[in-house]
A and B are shown apart, each in its own frame.
Chain A
């Protein structure tokens, strides 16, 4: 049963455009994440956010930024997409008590 919801699930756009992916979790978790999965299936953390602290992976380009209105939402904005941004972006959440991750369906981005 899905409890981490991502939209859109697919997005095709051109270089230089702005893209936003939305994520909402209904699990009552206090921490949310964005991961990037490349074509080789490698998953890398981009951001981690709870209601107190945003942690940014220093390798993430500045054109990426997380946006959160409350602890149940963490959106991902890409200001000016590049071809190498083509990937699947996965949102996840966890409770700081257990650490177990729950993922959304993923948002596949194709940059032409």
Chain B
């Protein structure tokens, strides 16, 4: 089965609403990262979050390593937040690759 499960797969919001995106991991992990991908664009690293809570502007990432989950909270969404949000996990020591989830497609309507 998939090691990284993201939910929801897609989300439509009205501008100003908040969003909560989830990542669950089926195996133990060293750390995880959140990425944002603009439509047709490159991936941008939002957070490198081994554990705890990190905030950057309207974005907040909370990772609980022991519970194998992470969330990304977007407050007061804007149309420019539209795009794909991907989370990725770093498996325990000895593994070399990041494992990505399938992403959450976010659309923020004006």
Contact = CB atoms under 8 A, between A and B. Distances in A.
B100 interface: yes
B86 A43 contact: yes
Q: Which label, helix, strand, loop or mixed, suits the secondary structure of the B interface?
A: strand
Contact of A43 (B44, B45, B96, B100): B100
A100 interface: yes
Contacts of A40: 102
Q: Which label, helix, strand, loop or mixed, suits the secondary structure of the A interface?
A: loop
Contact of A42 (B41, B96, B100): B100
Bin chain B's interface residue count: 20 to 34
B56 interface: no
A41 B84 contact: yes
20 contacts: A40-B102, A41-B84, A41-B86, A43-B86, A43-B88, A43-B100, A45-B98, A90-B42, A90-B43, A98-B48, A100-B33, A100-B45, A100-B48, A101-B98, A102-B45, A103-B42, A103-B43, A103-B45, A104-B42, A106-B41
Interface of B: 31, 33, 35, 37, 41-45, 48, 84, 86, 88, 90, 96-98, 100, 102-103
